[in-house]
Amino acid sequence: MEVKQKVELLREKYQASSERLNPPSPLKPVWTLENSEELYRIQGWGDPYFSINAAGHITVSPKGDRGGSLDLLELVEALKQRNLSLPILIRFSDILEDRLERLNACFAKAIARYRYSGEYRGVFPVKCNQQRHLVEALVRFGKPHRFGLEAGSKPELMIALATLDTPGALLICNGYKDQEYIETAMLSQRLGQTPIIVLEQLEEVDLVIAASQRLNIKPILGVRAKLSARGMGRWGGSAGDRAKFGLTVLEILTTVERLKAANMLDCLQLLHFHIGSQISAISTLKDALREAAQIYVELAKLGAKMGYLDVGGGLGVDYDGSKTNFHASKNYSIQNYANDVVAEIKEACDASSVALPTLVSESGRAIASHQSVLVFDVLSTSNVPSGPPEPASEADHLIVRNLYETYTAINPRNYQEAYHDAVQFKEEATSLFSFGYLGLRERAKAERLFWACCERILAIVRHEDYVPDDLEDLEKIMASIYYVNLSVFQSAPDSWAIGQLFPILPIHRLNEEPTCRGTLADLTCDSDGKIEQFIDLRDVKSVLELHPLRPNEPYYLGMFLNGAYQEIMGNLHNLFGDTNAVHIHLTPKGYQVEHVVKGDTMNEVLGYVQYDAEDLIEQLRRRSERALQDQKITLQESQMLLQNYERSLSRYTYLA
Ligand SMILES: *Cc1c(COP(=O)(O)O)cnc(C)c1O
C-alpha cells in the first residue's frame, strides 16, 4: 500500500477512535464544589476549620464549630492591599485556641468517663513553634486549664521562664542540661514557677544534687525513660534501646539510689517518656503506656514521691485525611488518645494501689499545625505539548511516519504496546539525530508525536482500574510544572528533608474543574526545591490537579497544616528569607489583623552572611564611577543601576 493511502486510512481510523475515546457527550457532568471537596479531601484533613464556599473559594472557620468564617481569597486580597506581598503565612489565633480547648476538653471527658481521680495538666513544647506571638497566645489561652510550657534547650528555657505566668502551670525542663540550665530552672521556683527538671542523662543527676545543695532548693525532678515500646516510622528512633534520649531501667535504678543517698528521693515525682512524633497507630501508644505505667508504679514502690506521669508528644495530625495508620495520617481521634492515656494509667495504678498521677502531655504538632496557612502564587507553568499533532506526510522521515502510525492506532486494547513502540521510536529518533540522519525539524516532529502518543495513552490509563507498572510514571512525565513563588527550604523544609506531606490546593476556582496535572517547582536554583508528592486517599499521588493559568489573573495555592516545626527549621537556601506573616483574629464584625511580622528584606538576609548594605552600595558606586570614566556607562544608566540596587536591598526576597 502507498504510504499516503496508509496514512489516510490511519487518519480515518484515528478519527473514529478519537470519537470513541472522547464521545461528544452533551451530558458531561458539570464540575461541582463537591467534586473539589472530594478531590482535595478538605473535610478529611481540614474539618472543622477549612471548607469551600459557594464562590468556590476556601473558607476558614477559625473557631471551628463555634461559628464565624472568612473567605481566604478575600483575606489574601485585603492583605495585598495592605502592601503585604506573597508568599504570606497567615496564622489564625482562634484556631490555636480551638486546638488547645479541644485537647483539654478531650482529657476532661476521659477523666470523667473513667472516674479518674487525678487531673490533666498539659504543656506546649516550645520547640514546635517558638514564635513569640504564638507562645504568648498559647499561654493566654491555656490559663483556664493551667496549661504550661516545655523547654528542650537553654534558649527555649529562657522563653518559657519569661513568658509563663500561669499559677500552677508546669514548666517541664527537658533536653541536655548544664549547671547553668539547672540552676536557672531551680531558682525560678522562687518566682512561683513550677519547674520540673527531667533527668535524661546520668551525669545530670550529680549536677542536680550539687546544685540543690549549693542553692538550698529542693527541686521537683523527673526521669525520662527509654522505653522499649517505640513509635513507628520516621520519628520512631526517639525510643527503643538505641534511642538518643532517656535513661534505661538500669540507669533509672542508679538515679534512684543516688538521690536516696543524697536524701533527695522525695524530689523525684515525675516519669516522662516520648516515643516519637506523629504516632500513626494507636496500638503503639498503648504499648508504651503499659510499659511506662509499670515503671511509674515501681518507682512509687521504691519510695519516690511520684505525682506526675508525662506521656510526651506524638499526638498525630491527619495530613491526608485518610484516618489510617499511614505516616501522613493517624488511626485515632484526640478523644481516643485521651481515653487510652487515662484508662491505661488508671488500670495499672489501681492494680498496684498506687495513687493516680497528674497526667501531663507535650503535644506540639497536634496543637500548632492547623493554625497557619501559607498562601503563595504561581508564576508560570511549563507544559508538555498537547492536543492532536499535525499528521505525518509522505515527505516525512520514516521514523516520524512510524510515530504517527503508532499514534493513530492507539486504543484501549493495545495502549501498553503502543507506549513501548512510541518510546522506542523516540529513542531511535534521538540516535538518528545524533548521527546526522535526522534534521532538527524532523526531530521536533518526532518529539511532538511522542507527546501526543503519551497524551492519548494517558487518557485511556486514567480510566483503567489497573495501571501496568511500566505506565505508572506516565502521569508524572506528562505533568506540567507550576513555578511557585516560594522556597521549599524556607517554608516546608520537612517536605524536602523527610518527604512529609502537606495538603496543597488552589484557594479559589474550586467551582471549576482542574483540568491540568502538575508538580510544583520553587524559586531556588536547587533541583530538590520541588514538591512532587501530594496527599491522596490511597498512598500518595505524584501530580496535583490544578487549573490552567489565566492571563493577567493571579493563581493562588495554599499549603495547609504547616504550623508545626516548618518555620524554625526553614533555612536561607539561595537567601530566600522568612516570609511575611500575619496573625488574624475573628471579630463579630469580621476580622482583625492582630500582628504583622514582616518577612526578611535582602538587607537582612545579606546581613546573616556578614554583608553590610552600605559597603555593598559603596562598592557598586565605585565600580560605576570607574565605568563612567571609561565611558562604558552613561550617568543616567549608572544612576538607574544604583537606585535599583539600593531599592532592592530593602525589599522582600521573593518575587514581586
Ligand atoms: C518534640 C517533642 C515533643 C513534641 O512532639 P509532637 O509530636 O510535636 O507532639 C514533645 N516532647 C518531647 C520530649 C519532644 O522532644
Q: What CA–CA distance (Å, rounded) separates 200 from 431?
A: 63
With the most atoms of ligand 1 within 8 angstroms of its CB, the residue from 277, 494, 500 to mutate is 277
353, HSE (Cβ side, Cα atoms, 13 Å): 0
Rounded distance from Cα 215 to ligand 1 centre (Å): 30
Give the ranges where 119-276 is alpha helix by DSSP (H).
132-142, 154-163, 179-187, 202-215, 249-261
Q: What CA–CA distance (Å, rounded) separates 365 from 77?
A: 29
As beta bridge partners, residue 556 has: 377
**Binding-site residue positions:** 309-319
Fold of 1-60+372-562: Lyase, Ornithine Decarboxylase; Chain A, domain 1 (2.40.37)
The per-residue pLDDT for 452 is: 96
Closest ligand 1 atom to residue 365 Cα is: 8
CA distance from start to end of the chain: 60
The per-residue pLDDT for 20 is: 47
Rounded distance from Cα 538 to ligand 1 centre (Å): 28
Closest ligand 1 atom to residue 368 Cα is: 8
Pocket of ligand 1 (CB under 6 A): 125, 127-128, 152, 174, 274, 277-278, 312-315, 362-366, 564
User: Between the CA of residue 237 and those of 53, 77, 174, 227, 569, what are the distances in Å?
Assistant: 42, 44, 17, 11, 19
Contacts of 139 (CB under 8 A, 6+ apart): 147, 149, 163, 164, 165, 166, 169
The per-residue pLDDT for 238 is: 67
Q: Where are the domains of the chain?
A: 1-60+372-562, 91-227+245-318+332-368, 602-649
Closest ligand 1 atom to residue 312 Cα is: 11
Q: Taking the domain 91-227+245-318+332-368, which CATH number applies?
A: 3.20.20.10
Rounded distance from Cα 72 to ligand 1 centre (Å): 30
Angle at 127 between CA 321 and CA 285, to 5 degrees: 50
Strands of the sheet containing 220-224, edge to edge, are 123-125, 148-151, 170-173, 194-199, 220-224, 268-272, 308-310, 358-360
CA dihedral sign, ordered 461, 465, 471, 472? positive
Answer whether 150's CB lies under 8 Å from 124's CB: yes
The per-residue pLDDT for 2 is: 55
**Binding-site residue positions for substrate:** 309-319
Answer whether 177's CB lies under 8 Å from 204's CB: yes
Rounded distance from Cα 65 to ligand 1 centre (Å): 27
Q: Which residue CA neighbors atom 14 of ligand 1 most closely?
A: 313
The per-residue pLDDT for 15 is: 46
With the most atoms of ligand 1 within 8 angstroms of its CB, the residue from 103, 127, 238 to mutate is 127
Rounded distance from Cα 361 to ligand 1 centre (Å): 9
Answer whether 271's CB lies under 8 Å from 225's CB: yes
Cβ-based burial of 527 (10 A; exposed 0-12, middle 13-18, buried ≥19): exposed
The per-residue pLDDT for 17 is: 47
Pairing status of strand 372-382 against strand 540-541: unpaired
Q: What is the DSSP letter of 443?
A: H
Closest ligand 1 atom to residue 362 Cα is: 10
The per-residue pLDDT for 575 is: 96
With the most atoms of ligand 1 within 8 angstroms of its CB, the residue from 99, 126, 128 to mutate is 128
Q: What CA–CA distance (Å, rounded) separates 631 from 638?
A: 11
How far is residue 62 CA from its own chain's centroid? Answer: 19
Rounded distance from Cα 150 to ligand 1 centre (Å): 9
Task: Look at phi and psi of residue 561 and say left if phi exceeds 0, alpha if psi is from -120 to 50, else beta.
Answer: left
User: Contacts for 464-469 with beta carbons within 8 Å, 24 or more apart?
Assistant: 464/412, 468/416
Rounded distance from Cα 599 to ligand 1 centre (Å): 27
pTM, to two decimals: 0.92
Which segments of the chain have a pLDDT < 50?
Answer: 3, 7, 10-11, 13-21, 23-24
Q: How many CB atoms lie within 10 A of CB 331?
A: 17
Pairing status of strand 580-587 against strand 88-92: parallel
Q: How many residues does the chain have?
A: 656
With the most atoms of ligand 1 within 8 angstroms of its CB, the residue from 244, 361, 362 to mutate is 362
Rounded distance from Cα 131 to ligand 1 centre (Å): 16
SS3 of residue 202 by DSSP: helix
Closest ligand 1 atom to residue 314 Cα is: 7
